[in-house]
Structure 1
Amino acid sequence: MNFTLALMGLSIYILLWEKLPDWGNWFNWIINKLPRPLAYLYEAWRCPYCFGFWVALALHGITGLHTIPVLATIPNHLGAGVTIAWVLDALATATLIMFGQLCLNAIAVPAIKGYQMTMEFKQSFKEEPSS
């Protein structure tokens, strides 16, 4: 199994939905100026699985990589072998992207809480008691 497409897809997902909206108003301005159907797609694709499927298809087309290498040699039954292979590979990649996003969310809260507790602890030594 090759995790390259899933890692690239997860990186794009994080960039588009978690980082760019917070890096200033320019990205949000662009989203607001998009035609209605494209703005709807941006809002609708917040689901890591849905986004993962479509980005996996696009990344597969661009890079030629497969998440499941055996799908590269799928027989061409009924003339749809390549299409079936791309769809199955995109579904598998989308599952990995969703799993990666869930894992990142699961560790984010405890990590942030631990950081805050450490900072509070360090700050308590810097404060001088008022007497």
Structure 2
Amino acid sequence: MAMENLLLGLAIHQLFWEHLPHWGTWFTRGLKMLPQPLQSLYEQWRCPYCAGFWIGLAVHAATGNYLFAAFADLPAFWGSLGTPLAWFMDALVFAALNKLGVLAVHAIGLPALKGHQAKEAFLAAKKAA
């Protein structure tokens, strides 16, 4: 399994849907300057599975790596449909694992945030005493 593809896809998803919208107003202003169909696509692709499919296709196109090498060797009876079908199936699996990765990051994030808040409260109480 090309773990680097999955990590890159997860990082892309986190960057564009979790972080950039909160880093000042420049990103949201840039989105508003896009044509309405592109703005609509950005809003509709917030789902980690939906966005993950397209991110998976883009990462595969950029790196040339399949997430699972087995997709590169589809049976010969698929003929000319083999390559597009392999890309499609690879992107579907990528999307499922991307969604799992986003859910895992969110699951880890809540306890980490609560731990950080508890530490800050402890340090503030200690400083006040």
TM-score (norm 1): 0.93
Conserved 8 A contact 1:6-1:94:
no
Aligned pairs for 1:1-131 (under 5 A) are 1-76=1-76, 77-128=78-129
SS of residue in 2 equivalent to 1:80? helix
Letter in 2 for 1:12: I
Structure 1: 5+ residue stretches without partners: none
Q: CA RMSD in A?
A: 1.1
Structure 2: 5+ residue stretches without partners: none
Letter in 2 for 1:61: A
Alignment partners' CA distance in 2, 1:50 and 1:94: 7
How much identity, in percent, do the aligned residues show?
Answer: 44
Question: Over residues 23-75 of structure 1, what are the superposed CA-to-partner deviations in whole Å (9 max), with x where a residue is unaligned?
Answer: 11111001111111000001000001100101111111121111110111112
Alignment partners' CA distance in 2, 1:126 and 1:61: 54
Alignment partners' CA distance in 2, 1:3 and 1:92: 13
Letter in 2 for 1:90: A
Alignment partners' CA distance in 2, 1:74 and 1:117: 52
Alignment partners' CA distance in 2, 1:79 and 1:19: 40
How far the C-alpha of 1:78 sits from its partner, in A, is 4.4
SS of residue in 2 equivalent to 1:65? coil
User: Per residue, is there more helix in 1 or in 2?
Assistant: 2
Letter in 1 for 2:19: K
**Total equivalences in the alignment:** 128
Larger Rg: 1
